[in-house]
């Protein structure tokens, strides 16, 4: 008999949480698990989901998890769905899905796993308070984090260390041998120009204004470079106007949504991640290129300063520009970093536990107490 597992996802638009949800679903062994998915909207990434062996239900999701009564009512509706379908485990990642999964798990007497990609004290203040003043931790059997920083914050929020596991986001489908060198031709980038990228949803709080403001400082000293902003979102027009006012439109390309982020990253010189409270761009490091980000930020747990990238002291355009220029001017350092990253992949740097894959993690939670 197979175990029944339910995934909750508000949408499959561009972003790390939908990407990770798809990775987990596609990775689960369907000979062991019957997978159910309740989701709100399809979005740009939905086509990456292997839907052949899963049961889908589209449902209107909450838009705001701060509306406590609406969240409780929606959670009870989800608990009913769980009971009707004899589901044994609920898996959540998103900020909205987590409290719903915890409450539904309690009322349906099922197990609950929550993947915690972000810093809960910084980015999920409501969930952190709920965890402190309600039995949310008791209603969650395991927290999976993607780095030590998130684990430390969960412990500060009151979660027992025994209930936290640092684990890889999911297997990377990226193949270095198939990366090619097509992006230069596609975007008409000269062969002697270097390529610097950032990958984000174009929304507030992602540091994209800092990335754009950084560019003039670099072009003044090193003009043979093109910058790519990969992603979609409501800030695109505002960022385009910012680029026009700075006179950098010849060196900045907005690529829009791309399915081939890792491939583009591999063909690029390095990436830049201006600090944001959410974690992002680990796929850039997984593709084997250095990253520039801020010290004591959400991403520095994924870097070894001077080995896999540079950590800047403050989150200013000039500070990022100086770090980027030091890489742009030093081809030997770039080669050294890429070689180090290849020999020391992300799972070694972060300390991901490779002793158990996601299938065994799910099984261990399902068999707790037996």
Q: What is the pLDDT of residues 60-73, one digit of tens each?
A: 987 776 677 888 89
| CATH code for residues 176-350 | 3.40.50.2000
Percent of the chain residues past pLDDT 90, beyond the cut: 52
| Domains 3-168+352-366 and 176-350 alike in fold | yes
The residues spanned by each domain of the chain are: 3-168+352-366, 176-350
Give the pLDDT confidence score for residue 347 in this predicted structure: 59
The pLDDT, as a whole number, for residue 276 is 57
Q: How far apart are CA 272 and CA 294, in angstroms?
A: 10
Q: What are the per-10-residue average pLDDT scores of the chain (370 residues)? A: 95 85 92 96 91 93 77 92 97 91 94 87 78 77 86 88 79 60 92 94 84 97 96 91 97 92 91 70 76 78 84 90 96 93 70 69 86
Res 126: pLDDT:
79
Fold exhibited by the domain 3-168+352-366: Rossmann fold (3.40.50)
Q: Which pLDDT belongs to residue 10?
A: 93
DSSP 193: -
For the chain, the straight-line distance linking the first and the last C-alpha, in angstroms and rounded, comes to 16
Task: Give the pLDDT score at 181.
Answer: 82
What's the pLDDT score for residue 128? 81
Three-class SS of residue 89?
A: strand
The model carries a pTM of: 0.78
**Of residues 159, 252, 174, 156, the one with CA closest to residue 213:** 252
Rounded CA gap, 193 and 251, in Å?
Answer: 10
Task: Write down the pLDDT at residue 353.
Answer: 57
Q: Taking Cα atoms as reference points, which of 174, 228, 173 lies closest to residue 200?
A: 228
Q: How far apart are CA 89 and CA 365, in angstroms?
A: 9
């Amino acid at each position: 008999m197979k175990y029944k597992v339910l995934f909750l996802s508000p949408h499959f638009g561009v972003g790390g949480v939908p990407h990770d949800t798809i990775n987990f679903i596609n990775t689960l062994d369907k000979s062991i698990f019957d997978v159910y998915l309740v989701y709100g909207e399809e979005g740009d990434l939905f086509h990456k989901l292997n839907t052949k062996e899963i049961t889908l239900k589209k449902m209107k999701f909450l838009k705001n998890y701060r509306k406590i009564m609406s969240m409780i009512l929606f959670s009870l509706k989800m608990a009913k769905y769980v009971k009707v379908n004899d589901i044994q485990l609920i898996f959540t990642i998103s900020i909205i899905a987590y409290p719903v999964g915890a409450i539904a798990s309690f009322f349906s007497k099922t197990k609950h796993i929550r993947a915690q990609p972000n810093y809960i004290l910084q980015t999920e203040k409501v969930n952190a308070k709920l965890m402190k003043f309600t039995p949310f931790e008791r209603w969650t059997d395991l927290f999976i984090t993607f780095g030590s920083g998130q684990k430390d914050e969960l412990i500060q929020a009151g979660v027992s260390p025994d209930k936290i596991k640092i684990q890889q986001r999911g297997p990377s489908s990226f193949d270095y041998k198939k990366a090619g060198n097509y992006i230069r031709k596609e975007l008409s980038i000269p062969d002697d120009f270097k390529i610097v990228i950032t990958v984000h949803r174009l929304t507030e709080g992602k540091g994209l204004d800092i990335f754009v403001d950084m560019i003039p400082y670099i072009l003044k000293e090193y003009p043979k470079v093109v910058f790519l902003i990969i992603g979609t979102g409501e800030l695109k027009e505002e960022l385009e106007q910012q680029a026009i006012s700075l006179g950098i439109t010849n060196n900045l390309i907005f690529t829009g949504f791309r399915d081939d982020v890792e491939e583009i990253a591999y063909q690029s010189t390095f990436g830049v991640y201006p600090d944001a409270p959410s974690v992002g761009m680990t796929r850039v490091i997984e593709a084997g290129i250095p990253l520039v980000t801020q010290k004591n930020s959400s991403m520095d747990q994924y870097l070894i300063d001077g080995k896999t990238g540079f950590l800047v002291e403050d989150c200013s355009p000039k500070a990022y520009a100086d770090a980027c220029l030091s890489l742009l001017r030093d081809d030997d350092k770039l080669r050294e970093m890429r070689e180090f990253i290849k020999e020391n992949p992300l799972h070694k740097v972060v300390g991901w536990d490779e002793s158990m894959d996601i299938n065994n993690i799910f099984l261990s939670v399902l068999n707790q107490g037996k």
